[in-house]
């Protein structure tokens, strides 16, 4: 991975073609779930925000990290239980199929959560 990507395209291009394909799938999944979300680089990784941050994702040697804040992870604790986790993060192994449907559900949950905060 190169230093300080300027945008998500730049970030994705910093990885092998195999990982680029996975990152593109995740990006498309997020953008489909939250089409009005702004795509930015934050903390050196792709982030999506709409009324606040929805999710971040990042590629590592053996996994993709998804960061949906603690609430996004606790709401899907059962579905995420098979993956290695930290507070507000989950690791999806690169040698397994990406759970794109689950990622979509998490993004939609975070979008609803952020939108409800805006209304209040």
Give the whole-angstrom CA distance, residue 103 versus residue 92: 10
The full set of domain ranges for the chain reads 8-114
Report the pLDDT value the prediction gives residue 119, as an integer from 0 to 100.
59
For residues 90 and 71, which has the higher predicted lDDT (pLDDT)? 90
Report the pLDDT value the prediction gives residue 118, as an integer from 0 to 100.
65
Name the pTM for this structure.
Answer: 0.92
Report the pLDDT value the prediction gives residue 63, as an integer from 0 to 100.
97
Hey, which residues does 58 pair with through a beta bridge?
A: 65
CA angle in degrees (0–180, nearest 5) for 103-108-110: 95
Report the pLDDT value the prediction gives residue 12, as an integer from 0 to 100.
97
Give the whole-angstrom CA distance, residue 67 versus residue 6: 20
Region 28-55: mean pLDDT is: 96
CATH number for the domain running over 8-114: 3.90.1150.200
CB 48 within 8 A of CB 28: no
3-state helix/strand/coil string of 22-86: HHHHHHHHHHHHCCCCEEEEECCEEEEECCCEEEEEEECCCEEEEECHHHHHHCCHHHHCCCEEE
């Amino acid at each position: 991975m190169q230093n300080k990507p300027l945008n998500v395209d730049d970030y994705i291009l910093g990885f092998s073609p195999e990982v680029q394909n996975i990152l593109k799938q995740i990006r498309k999944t997020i953008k489909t779930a939250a089409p009005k979300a702004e795509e930015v680089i934050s903390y050196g990784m792709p982030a999506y925000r709409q009324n606040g941050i929805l999710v971040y994702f990042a590629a590592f040697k053996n996994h993709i990290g998804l960061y949906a804040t603690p609430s996004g992870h606790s709401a899907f604790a059962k579905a995420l239980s098979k993956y290695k986790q930290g507070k507000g993060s989950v690791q999806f192994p690169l040698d397994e199929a990406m759970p794109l449907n689950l990622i979509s559900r998490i993004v939609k949950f975070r979008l609803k959560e952020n939108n409800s905060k805006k209304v209040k």
